[in-house]
Structure 1
Amino acid sequence: MEQPSLSTPSNATILVHGGCGNVYPRPMAPERRAAYEATLLQAAQAGFEVLQAGKSSVEAVEVSIKVLEDSPLFNAAHGAVFSNDGGVELDASIMDGAAFLAGAVAGVKTIRNPISAARQVMEASAHVMLVGTGAEAFAETVGLELVSPAYFETEERRAQIRQVKEAEAQGHPFQETKLGTVGAVALDQHGKLAAGTSTGGMLNKRFGRVGDSPIIGAGTYANHICAVSGTGHGEFFMRHTVAHDIAALMEYKGLTVEQAVQEVIHGKVHQAGGQGGVIVLDVHGNPGITYSTQGMFWARISPDGAQQVHVDNLVIE
C-alpha cells in the first residue's frame, strides 16, 4: 500500500519488519490488518524522523524497534509469546556498522525495551552479550526502565499458550509456524548503517532456549556494506550465520543486495529445511526483502520520503 510522500533532503532511509509466517486459513479482519499497517508505519516514521534530524542510524533503529516492542501485536516485549513454563523471555541485539560494535541481551524478563538494553551493552559496557538476571542488573545501573514480568503478559498470548498445551496433552505436537520477531535497518545522512532485532522467541520454548535474534551474524549484522535483520527459525539462522553470510556475499563476491538475500534465504536456509526472511539495506540505500514463508510484514520509508507498508494475510503471533 503506497502512502503520501514526505520531504527529505538526504539519502536517509529506514526499513522495519514485524516478522514472517504462513498464511492464515481465513481472511484477516480489516481492523487487525489496519492496526498492523499503522504500527509498522509508525515505527518506520519514528526512525525516519530521527534520520531527518541528522542523528545516527543506530538511534533510528532503536527508536523504530521500541515502537514495535511497545505494541501487543508483535512477538517482542509487550506482545511476546509465552515460554513453556508460563513466563516471557526476551532477546534483542543491535549493531553499529560504521563503528563495528554490537550489543545484545538474552533471556531477560523485566526490561521494558530489550533493544535499548542491547544498545547500552554496546555503548556502555566492554561486552557484546549479557543474559538473564545479569543483563537486568546492568540495565538498572544504566537507568533503563524495568517492569514487572506481568507487563509483557497479554490475554491473547496466554490463550495461545493454553491452546498449545491442551493440544500437546492430546498428543498433537506443537510446530512453530508464526514467526513474529521485529527488526529494523537504517542508513543515515552520513552514509552509516545499523541493524537491530528484538523477539519474544519461540512460542512454548523450553530450557532457556535462545534463538538467532540476539546472535550477531545470525539474526543481526551491519558493516560498511549492508545492514541485516532476520526473522525465522532461529536454529537454521544460527547454523548458517544468515545475516553475516549475506554481507559476506556482497563484500567478497560482489553480489547485489537482492542477489545475496535470494541466495541465502531461498538457497542455503530453504534447502536445509529452514524458513524465514530478512530485510537488508546496502550502503546506497537499496533494499532487499525476501522470505521463504508465505508472507512477511514490513514497512519502508525511502530517501525521497515515499512510504510503503506490506501486510500479508498472516497471523504473526
Structure 2
Amino acid sequence: MGWAIALHGGAGNIPLTLPPERREPEEAALRHCLQMGTAALKAKQPPLDVVELVVRELENNPHFNAGRGSVLTSNGTVEMEACIMDGICKEQGVETIDPSHFITPNNIERLERVKEANRVQIDYTEPIQKEVEKQTPVADGDSQIGTVGCVAVDIQGNLAAATSTGGFVNKMVGRIGDTPIIGAGTYANRFCAVSATGKGEAIMRATVARDVAAIMEYKGLSLKDAADYVIQECAPRGTAGLVAVSATGEVTMPFNTTGMFRACATEDGYSEIGIWPSV
C-alpha cells in the first residue's frame, strides 16, 4: 500500500493537430499541480486537503474551464459547480470572491460566437456552425475543454475526490451538470476515489463514479478493470473519462473520448502526464 494521486483537466474532442501554444500551458499546469499534490502527500497531508489544494490551483488557472476562466451562461454570467466528498461551504469560513473575477475576455468572445451560432457547446474544440448560414463546421482549435478534478490516497488508505467545472458555453441559467452530484462526477468510499469528466448528462445517466466503486465492491474487480468497464461499456462512446485511485494505491485514467488532459503519480515512482491515448 502506498500513496497515489491523479488529476484531470477535462476530456473531449481534442484534435491530434492541437498546436503547441494551445497544448503546452495545460501540460505545464498539470505538471505543476501534480508536483504540488505529490509534495503534499509526501508531507503526510490528509487526502481531503490534498485534492482541495490541487483543484483550487487548477481553478485559478484560466486555461481550464473551472474557477477563473469558466465558460459563461446565456446571460453572460458564471455558474460554476464543484464537489468534495466531505463538503466545503461559506459557513465554514471558505474565502469568497466577486463573480467578475472569474470572467475572462476569451470567454466573453467564446460566448458571443456560440450565441451567434444558436447553440450550446460542451468544449471548445467542437465546430461552430452558423445555423442561418449553414456553413461547413470547422474546429476553432482552442484546447480549453472542461472540468478539473483530483483524487488521492495516502499510505493509510484514506481516500478523497474533488471535481470542479464551469459547465457548457451558453448553457441555460440554472443548469446543473454531473460534477457536484455524488455518484456521477465525484465519488469516494473505502474502495476508491473517482473524478469524472465529459458530457454531464451521459455521466449522470451512467452514474460513472459510483459504478466504479460498486463494481469493485460487488464483483471483486480491480480498480483498472472496473473503471475500464464503466468507461468502455456503460458510458456512450465519446462522452466520458475519469481519474481514480484505490485504497491500495492503484491508479487509472481511462477515457472514451479523443483525449483527456491527465496526470498521475504513485509512491513507487510511476508518473504520467498525457492528453491522447498512450501508444
TM over 0.5: yes
Partner of 1:17: 8
Q: Tell me which moved more, 301-310 or 36-45.
A: 301-310
Question: How far apart are 1:175 and its partner, in Å?
Answer: 4.5
Partner residue of 1:227 out of 183, 193, 211: 193
Task: State whether residues 121 and 169 of structure 2, in contact with CA within 8 Å, keep that contact through their aligned partners in structure 1.
Answer: no
CA distance in structure 2 between the partners assigned to 1:212 and 1:28 by the alignment: 27
Question: How far apart are 1:38 and its partner, in Å?
Answer: 1.2
Partner residue of 1:163 out of 98, 103, 113: 113
Partner residue of 1:247 out of 213, 216, 240: 213
Q: Which whole-Å deviations, capped at 9, do the CAs of 1:40-72 have from their partners, x for residues lacking one?
A: 011111111111111111111011111100000
Alignment of 1:131-146 (within 5 A): 139=90, 141-146=91-96
Per the alignment, in what secondary structure is the counterpart of residue 58 of structure 1?
helix
Structure with greater helix percent? 1
Partner of 1:294: 258
Partner of 1:184: 150
Task: State whether residues 73 and 173 of structure 2, in contact with CA within 8 Å, keep that contact through their aligned partners in structure 1.
Answer: no
Task: State whether residues 42 and 67 of structure 1, in contact with CA within 8 Å, keep that contact through their aligned partners in structure 2.
Answer: no
CA distance in structure 2 between the partners assigned to 1:236 and 1:42 by the alignment: 30
Q: Which whole-Å deviations, capped at 9, do the CAs of 1:167-211 have from their partners, x for residues lacking one?
A: 12xxxx444245510000101122111111001112211030001
Task: State whether residues 9 and 260 of structure 2, in contact with CA within 8 Å, keep that contact through their aligned partners in structure 1.
Answer: yes
Per the alignment, in what secondary structure is the counterpart of residue 253 of structure 2?
strand
Partner of 2:133: none
What is the aligned length?
A: 257
Question: How far apart are 1:30 and its partner, in Å?
Answer: 1.9
CA distance in structure 1 between the partners assigned to 2:15 and 2:69 by the alignment: 19
**Aligned letter for 1:156?**
N
Partner residue of 2:174 out of 208, 213, 230: 208
Task: State whether residues 299 and 309 of structure 1, in contact with CA within 8 Å, keep that contact through their aligned partners in structure 2.
Answer: yes
Q: Which whole-Å deviations, capped at 9, do the CAs of 1:203-245 have from their partners, x for residues lacking one?
A: 2110300011000111000111111000011112112211111
**Aligned letter for 1:285?**
G
Question: How far apart are 1:84 and its partner, in Å?
Answer: 0.9
CA distance in structure 2 between the partners assigned to 1:174 and 1:43 by the alignment: 30
Question: How far apart are 1:28 and its partner, in Å?
Answer: 2.6
Alignment of 1:21-36 (within 5 A): 21-24=12-15, 27-36=17-26
Of all paired residues, the percent bearing the same amino acid is: 43
Per the alignment, in what secondary structure is the counterpart of residue 150 of structure 2?
strand
| 5+ long unaligned stretches in structure 1 | 1-9, 96-101, 104-119, 122-138
Q: Which whole-Å deviations, capped at 9, do the CAs of 1:132-155 have from their partners, x for residues lacking one?
A: xxxxxxx1x433222221111111
Task: State whether residues 236 and 274 of structure 1, in contact with CA within 8 Å, keep that contact through their aligned partners in structure 2.
Answer: no
Per the alignment, in what secondary structure is the counterpart of residue 290 of structure 1?
coil
CA distance in structure 2 between the partners assigned to 1:56 and 1:177 by the alignment: 33
Question: How far apart are 1:21 and its partner, in Å?
Answer: 0.8
Alignment of 1:1-317 (within 5 A): 11-24=2-15, 27-95=17-85, 102-103=86-87, 120-121=88-89, 139=90, 141-168=91-118, 173-178=119-124, 179-270=145-236, 275-312=239-276
TM-score normalised by structure 1 residue count: 0.77
Taking only aligned residues, the RMSD between alpha carbons, in angstroms, comes to 1.9
Partner of 1:134: none
CA distance in structure 1 between the partners assigned to 2:21 and 2:154 by the alignment: 33
Question: How far apart are 1:266 and its partner, in Å?
Answer: 1.5
TM-score normalised by structure 2 residue count: 0.86
Partner of 2:132: none
**Aligned letter for 1:231?**
T
Task: State whether residues 36 and 311 of structure 1, in contact with CA within 8 Å, keep that contact through their aligned partners in structure 2.
Answer: no
